[in-house]
Chain A
Amino acid sequence: DSGVTQTPKHLITATGQRVTLRCSPRSGDLSVYWYQQSLDQGLQFLIQYYNGEERAKGNILERFSAQQFPDLHSELNLSSLELGDSALYFCASSVDYRGDTGELFFGEGSRLTVL
Chain B
Amino acid sequence: KNEVEQSPQNLTAQEGEFITINCSYSVGISALHWLQQHPGGGIVSLFMLSSGKKKHGRLIATINIQEKHSSLHITASHPRDSAVYICAVFSNTGNQFYFGTGTSLTVIP
Contacts and interface: CB of A to CB of B under 8 A. Distances in A.
Contacts of A111: 41
Contacts of B41: 88, 108-109, 111
Contact of B97 (A2, A88, A99): A99
Given A103-B48, A108-B42, 7 more contacts: A43-B88, A45-B97, A45-B98, A103-B45, A104-B33, A105-B45, A106-B42
Contact of A45 (B44, B92, B99, B101): B99
26 contacts: A42-B99, A42-B101, A43-B99, A43-B102, A45-B96, A45-B97, A55-B95, A56-B96, A57-B96, A58-B97, A99-B31, A99-B90, A99-B96, A100-B30, A100-B31, A100-B48, A100-B92, A101-B31, A102-B48, A103-B45, A104-B48, A106-B42, A106-B43, A109-B41, A109-B42, A111-B41
B70 to A, nearest CB: 14
A80 B41 CA distance: 26
B: contact size bracket:
20 to 34
Contacts of B43: 90, 92, 106, 109
Interface of A: 2, 33, 35, 42-45, 48, 55-58, 88, 90, 92, 98-106, 108-109, 111
A44 B99 contact: yes
B interface SS class: strand
Contacts of B35: 104, 106
A56 B95 contact: yes
B61 interface: no
B22 interface: no
